[in-house]
Amino acid sequence: MGNIQPAYIVSACLTLIALTVFGSASHSPLLGNWLHNWQTLIGSVLALIGAYWTVRKISQQIEHSERVEERRVRRAYEARLATLPLVLSETTDYAENAVRALSEARRILKGGGARSLTGQWSPPLFPNDVPRELGAFIEVCDNEDANALVAELLRQIQILDARMRSLFDEEEIIVSVLVNLTEYQLQASKVLQLCGALFPFARGESAEIPKSLSRLPVIEAITFIDDDAEEDPDFCARRNNFLAVERPWWPSRQ
Q: Can you tell me the distance from the alpha carbon of 192 to that of 217, in angstroms, rounded to the nearest whole number?
A: 10
Q: Can you tell me the distance from the alpha carbon of 140 to that of 80, in angstroms, rounded to the nearest whole number?
A: 8
Are the beta carbons of 199 and 85 closer than 8 angstroms?
yes
Cα angle vertex 225, ends 219, 231, to 5°? 70
Please tell me the pTM assigned to this model. Answer: 0.73
Query: pLDDT 10s digit of each residue in the chain, 254 long?
Result: 445 555 555 555 556 555 555 554 455 555 556 555 666 666 666 677 777 777 777 776 777 666 666 777 788 788 889 999 999 999 999 999 999 999 999 888 887 666 778 888 889 999 999 999 999 999 999 999 999 999 999 999 999 999 998 887 766 556 567 778 999 999 999 999 999 999 999 998 988 899 999 999 999 999 999 999 999 998 999 999 999 999 999 997 64
